[in-house]
Amino acid sequence: MAYRVMIKEEIRKIAKKIGIEKIGFGEKSVVALFPYFVKGETGNVSMYARGMDYHHVAEEKLKQIEKELKAFGARETLVHIDKGGLDDRGAALSAGLGFLGKNGMVICEEFGSYFFIGQVVHDLNIEKDSPIDTSCLSCGACIRACPGGALSDDGFEIEKCLSEITQKKGELQEDERKLVADNGLCWGCDVCQRVCPHNKGLATTAIPEFLKDRITDLNIGDVENLSNREFKEKYGNYAFSWRGKAVLERNLNILFEKEKL
């Protein structure tokens, strides 16, 4: 038992040293939160996509946790950041890192819901942390504010989510185009987070990679004359690039058409 406690203490020390402010221990996993909130910003790009792609940032840090776990004898490990089918939100809840909001987001006291979740799955016998008993205020602000009406007391309809719509490939339906135009967003949506009382008074992230070379706004001139290769070279380190140039250009054309009216 003492050895397992020591492992947890050492992992927490390493995490703090490499800039991971909050971790928890789930069932055979170390779960980490990566806050990305920046105070005082506006823009037509969702806040999560304005800094360096979180997959790169989180993976680099989690690999250092993985290395430490292997030093303690782990033979089978896996670094996971929302790609690969594992339930990162469920892992965070199980590890006591937060509670589930009405908007489907995990919420924690320090970071609200403005954070990414990553985990290192392992085969060590480390005691897991307990889920917390805090719960969402259930004020309904996110449900009332959702632009597409995707949220309700019955759950979440992903096809109505503005963030999902901005990431769809192909042509959008007229009602979807109107939703993009009326909300002035070319990528993602932060409305349900912005109105959440659990997100009031948050501090700006201390993760330097999320603060460097931020892009808060894009216009059609930023992308329309780029080849696909040039687009990838220019924006490949940002999460909004993962669907390719065509999706972003379509959204910006919708916004540009509205501006001309």
Strand partners, 106: 100
Same domain flag for 9 and 113? yes
Tell me how long the chain is: 261
Each of the 261 residues of the chain gets a pLDDT tens digit; together they read 555 668 999 999 999 999 999 999 999 999 999 999 999 999 999 999 999 999 999 999 999 999 999 999 999 999 999 887 899 999 999 999 999 999 999 999 999 999 999 999 999 999 999 999 999 999 999 999 999 999 999 999 999 999 999 999 999 999 999 999 999 999 999 999 999 999 999 999 999 999 999 999 999 999 999 999 999 999 999 999 999 999 999 999 999 886 554
| Any domain includes 140 | no
Same domain flag for 178 and 117? no
Please list the active-site residues: 82
Same domain flag for 237 and 166? yes
Same domain flag for 104 and 183? no
| Any domain includes 116 | yes
d(CA 140, CA 124): 41
Print the domain residue range for 228.
148-188+218-260
Of residues 49, 251, 225, the one with CA closest to residue 169 = 251
